Amino acid sequence: MARRSRRRSQEPPGPSGFLVVDKPSGWTSHYVVDAARGWLGTRRVGHLGTLDPLATGVLPLAIRAATKLVPFVQDKEKGYAGAIQLGTVTDTLDADGKVLSQHPGPWPDEARVREVMATFLGDVEQVPPMFSAVKKDGVPLHKLAREGREVEREPKTIHVTRFELRKYDAPRLEIEVECSGGTYVRVLAADLGERLGVGAHLADLRRTRSGPFTLDQATSPETLREEAEAGEIERRFVSPLEALGLPTLRLDPHEIQAIAQGGDIAAEGAPDSPGMRMVGHDGEGKVVAVLELQPGRRLRPLRVLEPFAGRR
């Protein structure tokens, strides 16, 4: 731990914020993080939710001090567009996997497909796939799966806001999904195939939204690398103030000092709603801390950033 702290302290200061990458197919999320570390010259880069190698689209990265804000912006609702292939079941539940079984047809009609898709709306129990980063007794499931082992997994509750059929050209379905963070669209595809009685896997997937981050903000790695070499990549940063989407509070120098030392401050002008969260800033776009309103109208810091965090 001490070695890591010394390494970070040797890094030159730099701007913080969020960078939205349009992840290519075939890249792992960790590979994107490693590439961004090279573009930005910092080890302090983290992603806000893994995308499978097959998937493309929105992969938000937290840069430098913004890594402290990841818990406040991850696990938000996600949006996807993709395709499901009926009739073929794979071990990974997607097109990258080994084929386990195939169904020759006939295929359900469109009305039946829509009827069954509607049963996935709302709160749904979902069992994580074996090929995933979920851990069992400290070991990632995908490592056990590659050893040919399958273990019992605890189901978890996810929420599906939208599961829409955009086009049906049997046996291929083009879909759009809006769901809670932590949802495996691969599992949705496989479960749909099972309920339809023909089996299925996820043929392709593109994430269109991750919390406040959208495809409109996403940039390809090739462009980001070129802009980094030209010294222009920082213009792509999404400010923490924008990403957090919380009520804001301008702090004076005395309040900033108190918060930096771990103290709370008076909630002047804030509504009397204990538990409400706010973003304290210095008036120049620099985030100081995420604050939570306590009984007695006091604001307690939940996360404090170092000076110049959020500067664009």
User: Active site residue: 52, 94, 191, 282, which one?
Assistant: 52
Task: For residues 170 and 298, give the distance between their C-alpha atoms in angstroms, rounded to a whole number.
Answer: 59
CATH of 246-304, one of 3.30.70.1350, 3.40.50.12280, 2.30.130.10, 3.40.50.300: 2.30.130.10
End-to-end CA distance of the chain: 30
Peptide bond between residue 106 and the one before it cis (omega within 30 degrees of 0): yes
Report the pLDDT averaged over residues 236-244: 92
Report the pLDDT averaged over residues 249-259: 89
Predicted confidence at residue 261, as pLDDT, reads 85
Q: Does 308 have pLDDT greater than 50?
A: no
Cβ density class 169-203: b for 16+ within 10 Å, e for less:
eebebbbebbbbebbbbbbbbbbbbeebebbbbbb
Task: For residues 292 and 231, give the distance between their C-alpha atoms in angstroms, rounded to a whole number.
Answer: 37
pLDDT digits (tens, 9 = 90+) for 108-143: 999 999 999 999 999 999 988 877 677 766 777 767
DSSP letters for 128-187: PPSSSS-EETTEEHHHHHHTT-------EEEEEEEEEEEEEETTEEEEEEEE-TT--HHH
Q: Report the SS3 class of residue 123.
A: strand
Domain 2-75+213-241 has CATH 3.30.70: yes
pLDDT digits (tens, 9 = 90+) for 54-64: 999 999 999 99
Cα separations (Å) of 161 from 77, 79, 176? Answer: 9, 10, 11
Beta pairing, strands 172-179 & 99-102 = unpaired
Cα separations (Å) of 286 from 83, 145, 211, 249, 263? Answer: 41, 45, 21, 11, 19
Q: Does 87 have pLDDT greater than 90?
A: yes
DSSP class of 108 = P
Q: What angle do CA 238, 284, 242 make, to 5 degrees?
A: 25
pLDDT digits (tens, 9 = 90+) for 8-38: 456 667 888 999 999 999 999 999 999 999 9
Q: Which residue has the tokens 């539940």?
A: 93
pTM of the model: 0.87
Task: For residues 172 and 166, give the distance between their C-alpha atoms in angstroms, rounded to a whole number.
Answer: 11
Active-site annotation holds for 137: no
* H-only helix segments in the chain: 2-9, 29-40, 70-73, 110-118, 141-146, 185-196, 221-229, 240-244, 253-260
> Which ranges in the chain are annotated with CATH 3.30.70?
2-75+213-241
Domain boundaries 78-210, CATH class:
alpha beta
Whole-number mean pLDDT of the chain?
A: 88
Neighbouring-strand partners of residue 57: 23, 207
> Which ranges in the chain are annotated with CATH 3.30.2350.10?
78-210
Task: State which of 91-105, 121-135, 247-261, 262-276 shows the largest mean pLDDT.
Answer: 91-105
Q: What percentage of the chain has pLDDT greater than the value 70?
A: 90
Report the pLDDT averaged over residues 225-232: 95
Q: Does 208 have pLDDT greater than 90?
A: yes
Q: pLDDT-derived band of residue 295, with 50, 70 and 90 as boundaries?
A: confident
